[in-house]
Amino acid sequence: MDIHEYQAKELLSGFGIAVPRGGLAYSPEQATYRAREIGGSKWVVKAQVHSGARGKAGGIRVCDDDREILEAADDMLGRKLVTQQTGPRGKMIYRLYVEEAVDIEHEFYLGFVLDRKTERVMVVASSAGGMEIEEISEREPDSILRVSVEPAVGMQEFQAREIAFGLGLDSKQIGQATQVLMGCYRAFRELDATMVEINPLVTTADGSLVALDTKMSFDDNALFRSAHISELRDKSQEDPRETYAADRGLNYVGLDGEIGCIINGAGLAMATMDMIQLGGGEPANFLDVGGGASPDRIVKAFRSVLADQNVSVLLVNIFAGINRCDWVAEGVVKAFEEVDVNVPVVVRLAGTNVDEGFQILRESGLAIGIAETLAEAAELSVDAWRNVSAQAA
């Protein structure tokens, strides 16, 4: 689970990390009111969406007076922010965070991630923080410091100091940086995080270290342990297609194409998506209906996939081992009765009870494209998608 920047700042400040003074705003008037509460003469209005790279997308605005704050807030609220990380659908801006502007001397990058290969927490740091960190890590991978933490003893102060020195901080700031690093590590472990990121961590003119932007993600499987973390969930930032499917127990991941997929088995689902792409199409989703796909489950899958307005063709691809093709076919027929199926449908069945399955589909009299192999299924659905696109054009 991801949370907002302001929520991560509140959590991290509880672990001794300095953050700018700020306040939340749901309206332009509230944004100016927050600025007055904070004081000073320069503020930053920040879109609160579950994404980084907001700065480059117009989601971070430095303002000098009320008029500029009103304008920035008015521009952002209720609008979708499309960043390099959100995909073309973007994320809705419903909340703003107003902060005192900080006089930046230098921007550093600090990240704590779970390295699944070594099964350890890995600290990643760079003295070239800010908005270009992705490019720098690609261009000069050696400029990035990496330290892995031995889980039995946890992060040691000497490791934190080593990173602080590695960043080129001066002697007065080493102590502060060590506090920040130790605080992040404690937050990571105590809150069951999977990621803690400060980018940028800045040094200011008066020599202090401040976390200007923070990001945290949490282990979904540990959420039951801490209500104060799970209550930070903001469903408005999640893909509504995924929330809908997850609430119905389906394993669904939203994608940007137009060919909707209902498939059993993650491996077959991946292979089918590859075949669709090979044929020149784009899948609209990944959906694994799972082993015992009852007719009702197939109907739910139809509802989930067709709730996506971008879907213009639906492909059902089942290789029945534990599954039964006749059940799946019954589910398809039932879906046509109960759901408004307004796109061409292609069904491929193979395995247990395949003859019964095809018989049910044929006897239904429904206009369904029938395929016997994976290649055929992908070809038929890409062809159908081309036809629909040509008609729409």
What amino acid positions are annotated as catalytic residues? 109, 197
Smallest gap from Cβ 109 to ligand GDP, in A, equals 10
The amino acid that residue 193 corresponds to is A
Annotate each residue in 124-143 with x if it binds ligand GDP (CB under 6 A) or - if it does not, as one string: ------xx------------
> Per CB under 6 A, does 213 bind ligand GDP?
yes
Smallest gap from Cβ 40 to Mn ion, in A, equals 21
Alpha-carbon distances, residue 86 vs 51, 64, 228, 255 (angstroms): 6, 29, 26, 11
User: What is the per-residue DSSP string for 298-353?
Assistant: HHHHHHHHHTSTT--EEEEEEEESSS-HHHHHHHHHHHHHHS---S-EEEEEEETT
Q: Among residues 202 and 325, whose Cβ is nearest to Mn ion? A: 202
147 binds, among ligand GDP, Mn ion, none (CB under 5 to 8 A by kind): none
Q: Among residues 107 and 330, whose Cβ is nearest to ligand GDP? A: 107
> Per CB under 5 A, does 83 bind Mn ion?
no
Q: Among residues 49 and 314, whose Cβ is nearest to ligand GDP? A: 49
Q: Do 257 and 311 meet the contact criterion of CB atoms below 8 Å apart?
A: no
Query: Binding segment for ligand GDP among 97-105, 112-120, 174-182, 327-335 (CB under 6 A)?
Result: 97-105
Give the side-chain half-sphere CA count within 13 A for 169: 27
Among 11, 98, 102, 298, binds ligand GDP (CB under 6 A): 102
Annotate each residue in 190-219 with x if it binds Mn ion (CB under 5 A) or - if it does not, as one string: ---------x-------------x------
> Per CB under 6 A, does 197 bind ligand GDP?
no
Helix (H, G, I), strand (E, B) or coil at 191: coil
Helix, strand and coil content of the chain, in percent to the nearest 5, comes to: 40, 25, 35
Handedness of CA 216, 220, 223, 228 (dihedral sign): positive
Among 45, 63, 93, 107, binds ligand GDP (CB under 6 A): 107
Among 38, 104, 122, 144, binds ligand GDP (CB under 6 A): 104
Q: What are phi and psi of 55, to 5 degrees?
A: -55, -45
Q: Do 53 and 40 meet the contact criterion of CB atoms below 8 Å apart?
A: no
19-58: which residues touch ligand GDP (CB under 6 A)? Answer: 44, 46, 52-55
Q: Among residues 111 and 331, whose Cβ is nearest to ligand GDP? A: 111
Among 101, 147, 339, 388, binds ligand GDP (CB under 6 A): 101
Smallest gap from Cβ 8 to Mn ion, in A, equals 11
Long-range contact list for 151-155, CB < 8 A, 24+ apart? Answer: 151/119, 151/120, 151/121, 154/185, 154/189, 155/121, 155/123, 155/181, 155/182, 155/185
CA–CA separation, 219 and 191 (whole Å): 9
Q: Among residues 128 and 368, whose Cβ is nearest to ligand GDP? A: 128
Smallest gap from Cβ 106 to ligand GDP, in A, equals 11
212 binds, among Mn ion, ligand GDP, none (CB under 5 to 8 A by kind): ligand GDP
CA–CA separation, 273 and 182 (whole Å): 43
Q: Do 59 and 83 meet the contact criterion of CB atoms below 8 Å apart?
A: yes
Q: Do 196 and 112 meet the contact criterion of CB atoms below 8 Å apart?
A: yes
The residue number with the shortest CB distance to ligand GDP is 55
CA–CA separation, 205 and 326 (whole Å): 72
Buried b / exposed e along 289-319 (16+ C-beta atoms within 10 A)? bbeebbbebbbbbbbbbbebebbbbbbbbbb
Smallest gap from Cβ 106 to Mn ion, in A, equals 15
262 binds, among Mn ion, ligand GDP, none (CB under 5 to 8 A by kind): none
Question: Which residues contact Mn ion by CB under 5 A?
Answer: 199, 213
Question: Which residues contact ligand GDP by CB under 6 A?
Answer: 44, 46, 52-55, 60, 62, 101-102, 104, 107, 130-131, 199-200, 212-213
